């Protein structure tokens, strides 16, 4: 059985300056993003685990 590590972006904060913004004025959007590490493991299918004809998405 194999496993795969992936990095997923996560938005920590988002701000708008000035807030509130008046019509036709300039403003600044600041976004803080970090990456979280996820470990994806292969799905194990056992005999009799599913109903006949049922499909499991993403598993070959």
Report the domain count for the chain: 1
For 13, residues 6+ apart whose C-beta sits below 8 A from its C-beta are 30, 31, 32
Q: How confident is the model at residue 7 (pLDDT cuts 50, 70, 90)?
A: very high
- Cα dihedral sign, 48-49-51-53: negative
Nearest to 4 by CA among 35, 36, 37, 45: 37
Q: Which domain does 2 fall in, by range?
A: 1-60
Specify the pTM.
0.51
For 10-48, how does the pLDDT look when each residue is reduced to its tens digit (9 = 90+)? 999 999 999 899 999 999 999 999 999 988 887 776 665
């Amino acid at each position: 059985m194999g496993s795969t590590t992936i990095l997923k972006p996560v938005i920590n904060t988002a701000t708008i300056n000035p807030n509130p913004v008046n019509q036709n004025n300039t403003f600044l959007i600041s976004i803080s993003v970090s990456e979280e590490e996820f470990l994806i493991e292969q799905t194990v299918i056992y005999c009799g685990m599913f109903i006949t004809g049922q499909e499991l998405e993403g598993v070959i």
